[in-house]
Each structure stands twice: as structure tokens, then as C-alpha cells.
């Protein structure tokens, strides 16, 4: 799929989810933001990322069945990897600072939960804790650092550093921007100095950054924080079955 095919993809998404009930679904990620990656041939190399929101964990099984069928058709029709992160409504409401929320295309493909356009607004008050947004902004840094211990070290380190630069620029943290070669140390200092209550995923990584299974432990913690579900229940990924 090339960039000029995006309008066709959006039209097909709307048709696929027309009449779907029991969940609200939105497009997220780089295709929603418009900063998707493109290869030398002009084909989009980024994934299609959907966020299906369900009311309770009891609704996950039916949502997975419906979403996987739709992703299969989209992956084959547009030759793109199609993914979804099924999310419970309580997690969706509490994780207002996470990248999948802040990069969502502000319109529902279907809105079976009647969340309306207001759901795409900025997060509300942070329960009186001025460091809540900062704690959430640290999460992607430690996520990619943990991921780098298990796969594709250069790519994931680059993503961790990019997330750290974003963190530093957003919150004016020169000490983080100047410590990209020692991010675990910089984050520990930041958490201690600002008296931040880190998310569980961040704490797990910083407590054992070289543990052999830290990548999986952090990934699972991130999914529970962001989606309200373990990775195995939330994540759906489909590759094209028809070769180029």
C-alpha cells in the first residue's frame, strides 16, 4: 500500500466497522498521525493500528473474533500488517497520557459504547498528583529499553532515546536529554529527585534492567496499564496472507 491509498483504506475501515456493536474502535498510531514510514519503493512500512474499546474483560473474546476477521481482510486487501490492542473502558479512561490515546484519529470507526467525540479530548485532572503525566511519559522509555534486551537492540535503543528526548523536551528535563547514554541512571535520578511514583512497568525495568525475562515482564505490565488486559488477551496481529 502506498500513501495515496490511505483514503481508500479509511473508506474500507468505515465500511468494515459499519454496524459493529459491543465496542468502540478508533485508528491510532502513525497512520492516524500522518507520520507513517515509507520504504524506497514508496510502499508504507508502518502497521495499521486499531484500538477497540470494550466495556469489560468479558467482552474481549467476542471482540477478538470480530476484529481479527476484519484485520485479515484489510491486511490482504492493502498488503499491510494490521494490528489491534483491545482495551477495557476503565483502562482507556485512566490512560489518557499514553501515546495510543494522544495519537488517535479523533473519530470512531464504530461507537458501540457511545463514548462520543469527547473521549478524544485531553486527560482530565491527575488526581491531585502533578507528576502523573511525567510518570506516564517515562513509560515508553523504559518499555523500549526493556524491549532492546530481547530483540533488535539498535532499533529499540533508538526508540528509547527518541522517547527520552520527547520526555525531556515536554517537561524541560535537560538532565535526561544530556544522559541518553545512561537512561536507566537518569530516570532513577529523576524519579528520586521529583518524588515520582513510577508506573509498575517502569519500576520493574529499573529494578532489574538486565534480567533475562525483563522484556516480557515489562511488556505485560505496560499492556495491563494501557489496555487493562494482559498482552495475550489484548494484542491481535495479522500479516497479509497474499504475497506481493
pLDDT at 127 over 60: no
As a whole number of angstroms, the distance between CA 57 and CA 44 comes to 33
DSSP states of 85-141? E-EEHHHHHH-TTSHHHHT--SS-SEETT---GGGGSPP---TT-TTHHHHHHHHHH
pLDDT at 45 over 60: no
As a whole number of angstroms, the distance between CA 13 and CA 10 comes to 5
pLDDT, one tens digit per residue, over 169-187 is 999 999 999 999 999 999 9
pLDDT at 10 over 80: yes
Query: Average pLDDT, whole number, for the chain?
Result: 89
pLDDT, one tens digit per residue, over 22-34 is 999 998 876 666 5
Identify the H or E element spanning 10: helix 6-17
Spatial CB neighbours of 184, under 8 Å, sequence gap ≥ 6: 145, 205, 206, 209
pLDDT of residue 162: 94
Domain boundaries, the chain: 3-124+230-238, 132-211
Across the range 109-127, mean pLDDT stands at 84
Residue 129 banded pLDDT, cuts 50, 70, 90: low
pLDDT at 35 over 70: no
Report residue 238: phi and psi, to 5°.
Answer: -130, 130
At the topology level, CATH places domain 3-124+230-238 in: Beta Polymerase; domain 2 (3.30.460)
Torsion of CA 11, 13, 16, 18, to 10 degrees: -80
Amino acid at each position: 500500500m502506498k500513501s495515496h491509498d490511505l483514503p481508500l483504506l479509511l473508506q474500507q475501515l468505515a465500511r468494515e466497522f459499519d454496524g459493529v456493536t459491543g465496542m468502540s474502535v478508533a485508528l491510532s498510531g502513525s497512520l492516524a498521525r500522518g507520520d507513517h514510514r515509507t520504504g524506497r519503493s514508496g510502499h508504507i512500512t508502518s502497521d495499521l493500528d486499531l484500538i477497540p474499546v470494550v466495556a469489560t474483560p468479558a467482552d474481549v473474546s467476542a471482540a477478538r473474533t470480530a476484529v481479527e476477521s476484519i484485520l485479515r481482510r484489510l491486511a490482504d486487501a492493502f498488503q499491510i500488517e494490521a494490528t489491534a490492542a483491545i482495551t477495557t473502558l476503565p483502562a482507556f479512561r485512566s490512560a489518557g497520557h499514553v501515546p495510543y490515546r494522544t495519537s488517535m484519529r479523533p473519530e470512531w470507526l464504530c461507537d458501540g459504547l457511545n463514548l462520543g467525540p469527547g473521549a478524544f479530548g485531553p486527560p482530565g485532572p491527575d488526581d491531585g498528583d502533578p507528576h502523573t503525566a511525567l510518570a506516564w511519559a517515562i513509560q515508553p522509555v523504559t518499555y523500549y529499553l526493556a524491549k532492546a534486551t530481547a530483540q533488535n537492540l539498535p532499533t529499540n535503543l533508538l526508540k528509547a532515546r527518541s522517547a527520552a528526548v520527547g520526555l525531556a523536551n515536554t517537561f524541560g528535563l535537560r538532565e535526561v536529554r544530556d544522559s541518553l547514554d545512561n537512561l536507566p541512571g537518569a530516570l532513577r535520578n529523576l524519579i528520586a529527585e521529583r518524588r515520582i511514583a513510577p508506573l509498575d512497568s517502569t519500576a520493574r525495568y529499573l529494578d532489574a534492567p538486565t534480567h533475562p525475562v525483563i522484556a516480557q515482564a515489562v511488556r505485560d505490565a505496560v499492556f495491563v496499564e494501557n489496555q487493562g488486559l494482559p498482552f495475550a488477551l489484548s494484542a491481535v496481529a495479522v500479516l497479509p496472507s497474499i504475497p506481493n
